[in-house]
């Protein structure tokens, strides 16, 4: 694949939507079809910054809101050199959450921080409450209104196989488009 770049495929959404499962299945499926593909997940908790984020999410530490936001962003940025290298070498990256989750989660936190804390949990981590996740879904919907972004919405209420099939087909189309693009500039990200 010399001279051809890989595609960056990001699965975004609220917790428990099936992103991690579908990301793993997509990587396996793409490899079976002869593509070079690897998975990544954010936050990436193995780095020093990632461990700080993990501790915060697991409610083992408390951090000021602006600090948390910056740590999530820094966690993504510390992976950029590796991601660029892989994309330039023709590897398609399937990423379980990236920059838009920072926007959706941070803006949701500002709206219902106190209300979410009073409601029942459905998970063990800081943001895993029903009320908070509903706000996250609303924020994602608002982000998708920006038609300049290449959002592809897949209804996660379908069967696991139907969701996988839709994601795989969209991903293969994106991989073909990426192969035809020059290796020039590979990166644009906001500071979120």
**Best CA proximity match to 25, nearest among 9, 44, 43, 14:** 9
pTM: 0.80
Distance CA 47, CA 42 (A): 11
3-state secondary structure (DSSP) of residue 75: helix
What is the predicted pLDDT for the residue at 133? 87
Grade residue 111 by pLDDT with cuts at 50, 70 and 90: low
pLDDT higher at 113 or 101: 101
Q: Where are the domains of the chain?
A: 8-42+79-175
Q: Which of 21-30, 90-99, 108-117, 161-170 has the lowest mean pLDDT?
A: 108-117
Percentage of residues of the chain with pLDDT beyond 70: 85
Q: Which fold has domain 8-42+79-175?
A: Rossmann fold (3.40.50)
What is the predicted pLDDT for the residue at 110? 62
CA angle 135, 145, 19 (to 5 degrees): 55
């Amino acid at each position: 694949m010399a001279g051809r770049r890989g595609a960056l495929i990001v699965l975004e959404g609220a917790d428990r939507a099936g992103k991690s499962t579908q990301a793993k299945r997509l990587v396996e499926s793409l490899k079976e079809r002869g593509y070079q593909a690897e998975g990544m997940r954010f936050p990436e908790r193995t780095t020093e910054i990632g461990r700080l984020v993990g501790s915060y999410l697991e409610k083992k530490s408390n951090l000021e809101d602006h600090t948390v936001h910056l740590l999530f962003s820094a966690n993504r940025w510390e992976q950029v050199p590796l991601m660029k290298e892989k994309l330039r070498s023709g590897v398609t990256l399937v990423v379980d959450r990236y920059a838009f989750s920072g926007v959706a989660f941070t803006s949701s936190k500002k709206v219902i921080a106190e209300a979410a804390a009073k409601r029942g949990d459905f998970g063990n981590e800081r943001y895993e409450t029903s009320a908070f996740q509903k706000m996250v879904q609303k924020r994602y919907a608002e982000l998708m209104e920006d038609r300049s972004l290449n959002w592809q919405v897949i209804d996660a209420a379908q069967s696991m196989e139907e969701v996988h099939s839709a994601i795989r087909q969209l991903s293969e189309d994106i991989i073909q488009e990426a192969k035809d693009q020059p290796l020039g500039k590979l990166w644009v990200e906001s500071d979120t």
